Structure 1
């Protein structure tokens, strides 16, 4: 199947023509490995996809070339939240109807989006090998991007664990509900004990005030420090905001629709903090997004450098 022209305009459902997706580059271009941020939650309904969309949009608006990947493989809605109409989704990739690059959509302000499928039950039944295969496929895609934000499904399914393991940073979204805190801890426990994730960023969402967000984090930190070998960092809080609800109804990111509202300001602050995280010096294991670029940019061992000299 012939790949589409990524410089041709893509139209959203609202009729707005966003900036085109940039050309796909080859590995010979020497592109650096992007930072990959996985956004996850223990339970659904905590605003995880809204966090992913607004974080990615805030990063684009700050000058970061950003790709938003929807890996909620059975109930995807990133494209809906941005008013986009995909021709192909990840379901088409797994069915052999297109290649991964064919799924790319151009979102607002140059944001690149890879959509998943909604209502495709078989996509929730992929094997662990297929999840790993999707991760490795991004090494071949080799887009010129600085950051990739991965919007995961809720819970602790194999795909969620694999995509979080394959990212350099994991953001766990939690809200002020007992089940949200309990399930967030369960997710962190499984990531730590089964996938070797040693650091998690905690983001409190839909809070009434800043103190509430800090208290949610402290609940998680107390029990995690007691039972788990994992470091939790408090990323901040997103306030409950009527403007955010209106932006969702308009199928826009709130950072674009209402940039001066409280939630938009909070999302820009979260994006600023994420840009300050240390970039990976090389791969940590075998299951990582853009692993070939990570290997290429990793510093050579001292003995190898001496031999080369």
Structure 2
């Protein structure tokens, strides 16, 4: 029997592009589905969508049709061969680069269809600190921040944390270091991010989830437009993503809502709170 709790919504986000964020989102969706979880992956990089490309799929409908042609979310929802569904976005469509306030509310309302049908909603955001990226991070309960050991990845990740903290009072982030040469290298870059946040920002909580090693299998899978956890389930990167998926199923999510509107906010608002 599935839980009556609201689905857990978590974003997979980054301060810069090229850190493997979408690839991690896709493979986490696959691994959670393998754990018998009902999963939807939302491609929230609305103007430069590529979840469908990574998967080698060609959905006829996407979120553009939801916003501009009145197509229902149910019709946009696309079942993949890997046990999870995607909500694809459009690519190269200027009208999708920044959602209006009305469109943001429309999407929240449309998501009501999924509320009792899924366990996890993974939100693959764009990179950076533009309005869409901030909106989708605010609408998630948890934020999985992806960075690499490159210095620019570190500085851009800090910039995203700073904006979310200073402008929106978001204080909690979970961190995955991707394409690391070793666990030591991954923890070193996490320590630098932690030290910067601890020194310059007050009250930030950073949780090191895990690292994903540099693995040539990943690039081969991208070229074949196949999730690497499917193509090579025993590859080092695949094993790590599988371990991260299992950790996600045991996340202790803060019951207290911040002041930002959330996906499935109605059920979150009225769900029974634990007695103190």
TM over 0.5: yes
Structure 1 stretches of 4+ with a deviation exceeding 6 A read none
Alignment: residue pair count: 274
What is aligned with 2:130?
Answer: 157
- CA RMSD after TM alignment: 1.9
Give the drift of 1:110.
Answer: 2.1
Instruction: Note if 1:276 corresponds to 2:234.
Output: no
Instruction: Note if 1:295 corresponds to 2:273.
Output: no
Instruction: Note if 1:91 corresponds to 2:64.
Output: yes
Q: 1:103 aligns with which of 63, 76, 86?
A: 76
What is aligned with 1:254?
Answer: 228
Inter-partner Cα distance in structure 1 for 2:213 and 2:15: 20
Inter-partner Cα distance in structure 2 for 1:30 and 1:223: 39
Inter-partner Cα distance in structure 1 for 2:233 and 2:197: 35
Q: 2:182 aligns with which of 206, 209, 215?
A: 209
TM-score (norm 1): 0.83
Give the drift of 1:273.
Answer: 1.2
TM-score (norm 2): 0.93
The structure that has the greater radius of gyration is: 1
Is the Cα–Cα contact under 8 Å of residues 74 and 120 in structure 1 kept in the other structure?
Answer: yes
Inter-partner Cα distance in structure 2 for 1:141 and 1:263: 30
The unaligned stretches of length 5 or more in structure 2 are none
Inter-partner Cα distance in structure 2 for 1:106 and 1:142: 17
What is aligned with 1:242?
Answer: 216
Give the drift of 1:128.
Answer: 4.1
Instruction: Note if 1:169 corresponds to 2:157.
Output: no
Is the Cα–Cα contact under 8 Å of residues 65 and 145 in structure 1 kept in the other structure?
Answer: yes
SS of the residue corresponding to residue 15 of structure 2 reads: coil
What is aligned with 1:142?
Answer: 115
Distance 1:298 1:283, change over 3 A: farther
**Superposed counterparts of 1:1-309, under 5 Å:** 31-228=4-201, 229-279=203-253, 281=255, 283-285=257-259, 287-299=261-273
Inter-partner Cα distance in structure 1 for 2:161 and 2:244: 20
Distance 1:286 1:172, change over 3 A: closer
SS of the residue corresponding to residue 204 of structure 1 reads: strand
Inter-partner Cα distance in structure 1 for 2:254 and 2:193: 26
The unaligned stretches of length 5 or more in structure 1 are 1-28, 303-309
Is the Cα–Cα contact under 8 Å of residues 128 and 158 in structure 1 kept in the other structure?
Answer: no
Give the drift of 1:141.
Answer: 4.0
